[in-house]
Amino acid sequence: MEAKFTRLAAFSRLVLICLVLCEVLKPVGGAKFVVGANFVSGALWTNDPGPSHSNTTLVEQYEMWANSVKISVGDTLQFLYDDSHTVVLVSTKEMYDSCNYATYTDVTSPTPPTLYIVNDTQPLYFVCSIDKHCAEGQKVAITNILPASSPTPSVYPAPPPAFSNGGRLMGSLDRLRSCWTVASSTFMFLLSIT
């Protein structure tokens, strides 16, 4: 009976420590937005408009997404894609419009997805530099970036099943789930060695 109580007390302390660590280590910054969520087929960074969006071009789909979100300095853009795409940043609207990416900043992650943290209010012009993907519409312009002190809007477009708040990822729930997994795994380990 005493061993069981000791294990329960140890587990309680472990859960408390995990919860405190989750709060202390949580990421600082703004919201995360999935580029294309709710508007591009599969919410992917893609050069395929998909059959369900045959009445709009891919450029229009990305434009509708960009107009539907309120992005602020400190927010993170998440580009979901397979290995056949890149995420590059061109510096001018002219380069974006003409898909001229002779000079660009490659922000592609070694493995998908690519996360990009917005660091100022200057317009951002992203394109895919693979073959003719940009000319096929795989590009997004984010031109109305709010300062960091701007309040987060309280209304977002209706979420698709995989996302919440207009493409915002559910980071807090994921952190809590991760902390709980660590705590319960540790407890099971403690049980197995006693």
Give the domain ranges of the chain: 1-27+170-194, 32-167
pLDDT of residue 29: 59
pLDDT of residue 171: 47
Give, for all 194 residues of the chain, the pLDDT tens digit. 566 556 666 666 655 565 554 444 444 558 999 999 888 877 689 888 776 556 788 999 999 999 999 999 999 999 999 888 999 999 999 999 999 988 899 999 998 999 999 999 999 999 999 999 999 999 999 999 999 854 544 444 444 444 433 444 444 444 455 555 555 555 555 555 55
pLDDT of residue 80: 94
Helices and strands in the chain: count of H runs, count of E runs: 4, 7
CATH fold for the domain made of 32-167:
Immunoglobulin-like (2.60.40)
Reduced DSSP (H G I as helix, E B as strand, rest coil) percent helix, strand, coil of the chain, to 5: 35, 15, 50
pLDDT of residue 163: 41
- Give the residue from 128, 43, 51 showing the smallest Cα distance to 83: 128
Q: What angle is formed at CA 59 by the lines to CA 125 and CA 151, rounded to 5 degrees? A: 55
Q: pTM of the full predicted structure?
A: 0.63
pLDDT of residue 115: 96
Q: How many residues does the chain have?
A: 194
